[in-house]
Amino acid sequence: MNRTAYLFDDIYLEHDTGWGHPEKPERLVKIHKKISSSPYFSDLIKIKTSLPDIKCIEAIHSPDYIQRVKREIESGISYLDSMDTVVCIKSYDVALYAVGGCINMCDAIMRGEAVNGFCVIRPPGHHAEKNYAAGFCIFNNIAIAARYLQKTYKLKNIAIIDWDVHHGNGTQHSFEDDNSILYISLHQFPHYPGTGSKYEKGTGRGVGYTQNFPMNHSAGDEEYLFLFENQIIPALNTFKPEFILISAGFDAHKSDPLSSIRLSTNIFYTFTRMLMSVAKNHSHGRIIGFLEGGYNVSVLPDCVDMVFKAFLEY
């Protein structure tokens, strides 16, 4: 039985960020070329995208924000909320289809059609706040998916592991007062967006359910593995997640132009295998990766391939 699902759609290429922008359509073109030419491609369950119910997005973003994003993008603006988040006339629709595809991935796994999967989507999401676009992100795909799984399938404990080199401020803020979502982030610090110190541990009933691991520039596989083995995996096993979601950015790779972290390509296979061991014990193997960053288009496809190779070993 095929157990690993794949989400990609050409519509994600229509979000035009212009010449020279690091978050460009070519990222997905190269990933899809790598995955679709791999021997395992025929075994993947292909997930189609569709427009989501806006109520799914409203679980994370305010209705006013969603309406403003639509209005401003359709008016022809070039930037949304900051100079980082470049948009074109189609960006609102593409962002909707990114969310819709991720929700379809969740449904496929919860229906038992697959056990794990990877969403090759853009725009990315983990910097998007309740009322503010930031860091190339419009809607917070992974946060929306987490809340959707809870509301639709009555799951209680969901873990989000964010290994993107930039701290997922939007995801943290979405759940910082929530003890049903464990948010764990490893990220270069200090670095954009400036959040994610080790002292940020959540608020109210969510204290302890935000866990930040700020990494010094030039940290590599050894430092990350130490934290995975000694803190992250034990924290996950204590939490007992019913579903694991990964903010899978690959910009902590040693050759990425936007960071100073020194991870190897193969380490992403190792990270994924470690998280799968938790998923097997607590969440029936259920785990989804959501593409976030990764801006060296020569190595990005190989990093994503590492995750698929791990997933396919379930």
- Catalytic residue annotation: 127
Q: Is the peptide bond before 193 cis (omega within 30 degrees of 0)?
A: yes
- Taking the C-alpha atoms of residue 285 and residue 5, their distance in angstroms, rounded to an integer, is 13
Give residue 285's region: left, alpha or beta (phi > 0; psi -120 to 50).
left
* Structural contact between residues 212 and 162, judged by C-beta atoms closer than 8 angstroms: no
163: nearest Cα among 186, 131, 146, 182: 186
- Taking the C-alpha atoms of residue 27 and residue 43, their distance in angstroms, rounded to an integer, is 23
96: nearest Cα among 68, 70, 132: 70
> Which pair of structure tokens corresponds to residue 288?
């989804």
- Taking the C-alpha atoms of residue 30 and residue 304, their distance in angstroms, rounded to an integer, is 11
> Which pair of structure tokens corresponds to residue 203?
């608020």
